[in-house]
Amino acid sequence: MAAAPLTDSFYRTMFDLRSQTVLLTGAYGHLGQAIVGGLLAHGAQVIALGRSAETFAKTFGTPTDNLHFIFCDVAETASVQAAFRQSFDLYGPPSVLINNAYYSRGQQPDALPDADFALGLDGSVGSAYRCLREVLPYLRETGSGKIINVASMYGLVAPDFEVYADAPQFLNPPHYGAGKAAMIQLTKYFASYLGPENIQVNCVSPGAFPSDKVRQNTGFEGELRRRIPLGRVGEPQDVAGAFVFLSSAASNFVTGHNLVVDGGWTIR
């Protein structure tokens, strides 16, 4: 039997997030702020999960009807469990989880202590798995949900070391790219595993989005620009639409996808 034709109202509202409660880690980071802005602009209720209420307040001001803060240390299972339970009790069941938080230690490629390498992998992908695992009971209870992981273009390609010749302090270390590659595979794995339960799992891989501090090194930014087909580095707002799309009904038939937002860096 053919599906019933969609009405005009679906097309007008397919990016409408007013019925969505989004759990977001890393909300007050460089890209996290833009993700929050995009979600709020489309009506979502956003629960910012982080370790610093003070940093949240400095970034966003006081909580609003649609933006809230809950303490959560994504490195600790008990903290993640407590945060998700508190969010459920206060704001109802979540419909979207965005794993954007990241932590690491150490940078020298061939001299990382074992503990630093392990911490970087956990900060890239272990924390996302922890949050994914703990959110599943809530999504399963409602019978649907969306999980969006944040990887990186360095999960797809190795760094171009010529870029960092004069700015080694900005080099992405090996455990960063290894963890982000694992994040892409984790996304595919759980998209396949959770698909029958109507839970979609997708990934966003940002490209070169240097912070304001990094961009003060104009030579380094110039090296990045020269390798990007669009001829510029990414601005935070360039990535916001990807999260609106993957959180909305517009992506209801998309799962296991890695959406690369890199200005074309990885096509060469």
Q: Is residue 12 part of a domain?
A: no
- Say what the pLDDT of residue 86 is: 98
- Say what the pLDDT of residue 94 is: 98
Residues 141-187 pLDDT 10s:
999 999 999 999 999 999 999 999 888 999 989 999 999 999 999 99
Q: Is residue 58 part of a domain?
A: yes
Q: Are 96 and 252 in contact (CB under 8 A)?
A: no
Q: Is residue 91 part of a domain?
A: yes
Residues annotated as part of the active site: 176
Q: Is residue 252 part of a domain?
A: yes
- In the numeric block, which tokens belong to residue 22? 């989004």
Q: Where do the H-state alpha helices sit in 42-76?
A: 53-60
Q: Is residue 189 part of a domain?
A: yes
Residues 214-241 pLDDT 10s:
999 999 999 999 999 999 999 999 999 9
- Say what the pLDDT of residue 203 is: 98
Q: Is residue 138 part of a domain?
A: yes
- Say what the pLDDT of residue 5 is: 65
List the CATH number of the domain containing 211: 3.40.50.720
- Please give the share of the chain, as a percent, with pLDDT higher than 90: 93
- Say what the pLDDT of residue 166 is: 87
- For the chain, residues with pLDDT lower than 70 are 1-6
> How far, in Å, CA of 133 to CA of 130, rounded?
5
- Say what the pLDDT of residue 3 is: 61
Q: Are 254 and 267 in contact (CB under 8 A)?
A: no
pTM score, whole prediction: 0.95
Structural domain including 243 reads 17-267
Q: Is residue 24 part of a domain?
A: yes
- Say what the pLDDT of residue 7 is: 72
Query: Of 267, 261, 268, which Cα lies nearest the Cα of 209?
Result: 261
Can you say how many angstroms the Cα of residue 35 is from the centroid of all Cα atoms in its chain?
A: 8
Q: Is residue 133 part of a domain?
A: yes
* Domains in the chain, number: 1
Any bridge partners for residue 146, and if so which?
Answer: 96, 200
> How far, in Å, CA of 42 to CA of 4, rounded?
26
Angle between helices 174-194 and 127-142 (to 10 degrees): 20
Cβ burial, residue 105 (10 Å; 0-12/13-18/19+) = middle
